[in-house]
Structure 1
Amino acid sequence: MSTERRAPLDRARVADTALRLLNETGLDGLTLRAIARELDVKAPALYWHFKDKQELLDEMATQMYRRMVADIALDPADTWRERLLRVNRALRAALLGYRDGAKVYSGSRFTGTAHARELEEHLRVLTGAGLTLVQAVDAARAGTMFTIGFVIEEQGVVHLAGERRQGYGVEERARRLSDFPLAAEAGRVLFDDYDRQFEEGLALVIAGIEARYGIG
């Protein structure tokens, strides 16, 4: 038995194992029984740490967030635009690191309060640009929800890098829709070059915030 398997079982170890297993099974296949088997313990042992799967997903999302924050350098001198770009690009990259990462993250509740430090700094940048607190929260949420929703759709087509879902080949789709030339050509925009799509969508969100709140 490996040293890792003999290590004491705790919430962090269970969540870390679940995140590793997620890339193999996807969210639908991620069960407490499968995680217990990976840890070489009985499934009931996990219920000492998590009362149900949602509580485990909360811890997984929290670990995803912690890893994202560790990999991103936030500059207090950021403009509000730079901050929204930096945070949402980092969020997308973090979610794409796991199969169904955006689905795990969506709707989950962070455990603990460690995330409050980054949230406080984020809101200070936005309110410092002239937004009210309500406007700052709405602006930050708009960026976050766009990013999570975008990645959910992106991962519905490309599960992991280079692993495209059958039926979403751009050329194949164009052939099937050949009687509808605009719809056929739209597939080259909808289902290809997700980096470009994300950057354009995020730019639209930021332009909308600027226009809505009249900030420069």
Structure 2
Amino acid sequence: MTDAPALFLGQSFEGAPERLLLNRANRHGVVAGATGTGKTVTLQIMAQGFSEAGVPVFCADVKGDLSGISQGGGVEKFAERAGKMGLTLNGKSAPVVFWDLYGQKGHPIRATVSDVGPVLLARMLELNDVQEGVLTVAFHVADKEGLLLLDLEDLRALLAYVGENAQTIGREVGNVSPTSIAAIQRALLQLEQQGGKAFFGEPALRLEDMMRTALDGRGQVNVLDATRLMNSPRLYAAFLLWLLS
């Protein structure tokens, strides 16, 4: 038994409380179970528990049901269930901020191409080693010329410039293949068709925008609306990779 700060998750079959120690909460975990077994509720409990402990939370809502923690509740059957578990039900809502890459169901999320960088962008576009090298050369040219890459149109224009001056640039940094440039342009087109144009641009999101606490000290719960984003796997992966990096 320990008195260390912990999140209450539920009860075991024997009726013993199951808690997650906050000093062990930086590990990876998975919540698994069949439909209707309480996976979503468990995630909501964890998100609200972290918030109550003053820890900001980020969660991707792929079905639209995690957003319920933004509203208070006091359903009688929930209170009855909590009473049987020896708990007092707190129907207080969490301090939630909604985000949406498309800017329709939450604050829009933006990142500049320069912020993402060539390595991460190459992974987003699923480029091979040669194509990644050409993309790195393009970013090198932008840095050398003092060019800020804001959106995909800027990157397209830069790649066109690199292609037109391939011989001159190649003498300094190595061969720049027109075939690789064409492949990158096609990959950018695919990303743009999945909604990438909405993600790349200004104003760029700062991590500090999510790592906030409310006036009462509770951590801000950031809910990404991913109901539409799930249909664009390349863009979804691009955003998560950028956020984690």
TM-score tier after normalising by the smaller chain length: under 0.3
TM-score by length of 1: 0.25
Could you say which structure has the higher strand fraction?
2
* Structure with greater helix share of residues: 1
